[in-house]
C-alpha cells in the first residue's frame, strides 16, 4: 500500500467575489498547486472535484470535465457531492486510489460560487443539504438547526453563549495573519454577545460567512515523489468517513456527532495514532457550536468539556492543541465545495512550516482535518503526518 504525499497545495482568497465563476476560481487554485508541487500537468491521471450547489448558483452540472479544462489537464474528471463535505469525500477517494496503486498522481480539490445568490438565495441553496420533506419545508435552515444543537448541548452539559464567543474570538485572531482569509479583523467577546441574534443562542459572529473560493491539491504516491525528487514531507496517513441520520429529529443525540466520531476512529486506526498524538487540527466550525462537537467527537476534548476549551486557552494558538489556526470556516470562510480541500492545504502547510501560523506549532508532526456535511450527517477525517 503506497504512502500518499501532499506534493502541492493551492488556495484562492476566500471572500465576496460574485463576478468570478467557479472555473475561474479553481483554475487559479490549480496554478498555485502545480507551482507548489513541481508536478507537470501532463502527469495528472485524474481529477476528483468537490462541489455542492453548482446547478443552483451557476446553472452548471457536469462540472468534472469543465474543471479539468480550467486546470489545464486532459484526464478523466469526476465531481463529488456530499454537501459541505464534498471535497473531503473526493480526497478520501483519491487517497484510497493512490494507496491501491490505481494512480500515482491525482489532482483533487473543490470550489464554490455562493455570493452571487445573495444571502437569501445562498441560505435556500444550502438548505437542500437538510431533509427537504421534514426540515426544509418546516422552515428549518442551518442556523436554526445548529441553534437546536447548541441548546441541546447546554441542556445536557452546561455552558452559555459566552463560551461560544471565545471560539469566534479565537478563530478571528488566527485569521489575522492568513492572507487568504475572508475576515482578517479581530473581535472581542462583547462583539459576539452584542451582535444581532440569528437563532438563539447563536448570533451573527457565531456563524460562518457566505463565501466564494477554491482549493486544489496535487497528491502523489510515495514512489512518484521519490522518483521525481519532490519536496513533499507531509503524507495523508489516515482517512475515515462516517454518517448519521439526515434529520435532527431522527437522531439519538443532538449534542454529539457520531458521524465525526466514526470517521475519526477510522482515520486514527489507519494512521496508527490516537487523539493524544494530534498536535494541531482544522475542524468544521460552520457555527461556533460545531467546533465544540467536532473536538469532542475527535477525542481532542472529553465529552462535555469542549465548551470551555477556547475560553480556558486549550485550543488557542499557543494552547495544548491549537484548533483552526487558519481562522476556520468562521473567519477564513466557507465556500462549501472547497472547504475540505482547503483544510488539508492548511494542515499540510502548518506541518511543513510554511504557514503564517506555523511558529505556534513549530514541533508539530501530526495534524487532523475534519470536514462535515449538513448537520454532520456526513463527515470525513484525515490524518496528516510529517514523514520525511
Dihedrals φ, ψ of 118, to 5°?
80, 170
HSE-CB for 119 with a 13 A CA cutoff: 6
Q: Is 15 left (phi over 0), alpha (psi -120 to 50) or beta?
A: left
Q: For the chain, what's the residue count? A: 388
Which positions are catalytic?
A: 84, 334
Burial classification of residue 42, based on how many CB atoms lie within 10 Å of its CB (0-12 exposed, 13-18 middle, 19 or more buried): exposed
Task: Please tell me whether residue 299 adopts helix, strand or coil conformation.
Answer: coil
Question: For residues 36 and 233, what is the distance between their CA atoms, to the nearest angstrom?
Answer: 13
Largest Cα–Cα separation, the chain: 57
Question: For residues 155 and 369, what is the distance between their CA atoms, to the nearest angstrom?
Answer: 28
Q: Which residue from 129, 288, 147 is spatially nearest to 208, judged by alpha carbons?
A: 288
Which DSSP string corresponds to 200-236?
Answer: TTEEGGGBPPP-BEEEEEEEEEHHHHHHTT----EEE
Cell of 57: 448558483
Amino acid at each position: 500500500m503506497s504512502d500518499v504525499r501532499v506534493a502541492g497545495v493551492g488556495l484562492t482568497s476566500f471572500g465576496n467575489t460574485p463576478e468570478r465563476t467557479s472555473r475561474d476560481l479553481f483554475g487559479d487554485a490549480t496554478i498555485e498547486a502545480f507551482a507548489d508541487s513541481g508536478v507537470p500537468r501532463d502527469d495528472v491521471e485524474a481529477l476528483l472535484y468537490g462541489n455542492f450547489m453548482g446547478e443552483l448558483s451557476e446553472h452548471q452540472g457536469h462540472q468534472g470535465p469543465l474543471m479539468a479544462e480550467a486546470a489545464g489537464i486532459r484526464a478523466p474528471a469526476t465531481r463529488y457531492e456530499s454537501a459541505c463535505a464534498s471535497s473531503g469525500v473526493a480526497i478520501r477517494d483519491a487517497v484510497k486510489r493512490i494507496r491501491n496503486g490505481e494512480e500515482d498522481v491525482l489532482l483533487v480539490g473543490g470550489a464554490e460560487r455562493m455570493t452571487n445568490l445573495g444571502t437569501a438565495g445562498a441560505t435556500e441553496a444550502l438548505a437542500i443539504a437538510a431533509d427537504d420533506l421534514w426540515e426544509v419545508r418546516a422552515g428549518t435552515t442551518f442556523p436554526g438547526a445548529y441553534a437546536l444543537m447548541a441548546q441541546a448541548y447546554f441542556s445536557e452539559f452546561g455552558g452559555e453563549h459566552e463560551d461560544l464567543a471565545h471560539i469566534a474570538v479565537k478563530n478571528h485572531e488566527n485569521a489575522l495573519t492568513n492572507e487568504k482569509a475572508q475576515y482578517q479583523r479581530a473581535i472581542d467577546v462583547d462583539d459576539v454577545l452584542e451582535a444581532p441574534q440569528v437563532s438563539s443562542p447563536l448570533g451573527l459572529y457565531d456563524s460562518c460567512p457566505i463565501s466564494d473560493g477554491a482549493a486544489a491539491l496535487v497528491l502523489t504516491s510515495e514512489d512518484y515523489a521519490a522518483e521525481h525528487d519532490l519536496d513533499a514531507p507531509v503524507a495523508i496517513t489516515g482517512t475515515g468517513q462516517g454518517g448519521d441520520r439526515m434529520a435532527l429529529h431522527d437522531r439519538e443525540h443532538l449534542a454529539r456527532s457520531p458521524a465525526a466520531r466514526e470517521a475519526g476512529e477510522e482515520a486514527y486506526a489507519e494512521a496508527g495514532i490516537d487523539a493524544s498524538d494530534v498536535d494541531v487540527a482544522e475542524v468544521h466550525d460552520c457555527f461556533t457550536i460545531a467546533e465544540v462537537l467536532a473536538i469532542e467527537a475527535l477525542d481532542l476534548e472529553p465529552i462535555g468539556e469542549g465548551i470551555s476549551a477556547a475560553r480556558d486557552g486549550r485550543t488557542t494558538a499557543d494552547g495544548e492543541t491549537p484548533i483552526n489556526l487558519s481562522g476556520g470556516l468562521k473567519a477564513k470562510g466557507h465556500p462549501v465545495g472547497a472547504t475540505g480541500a482547503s483544510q488539508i492545504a492548511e494542515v499540510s502547510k502548518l506541518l511543513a512550516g510554511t504557514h503564517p501560523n506555523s511558529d505556534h506549532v513549530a514541533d508539530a508532526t501530526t495534524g487532523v482535518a475534519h470536514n462535515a456535511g449538513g448537520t454532520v450527517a456526513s463527515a470525513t477525517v484525515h490524518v496528516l503526518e510529517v514523514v520525511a
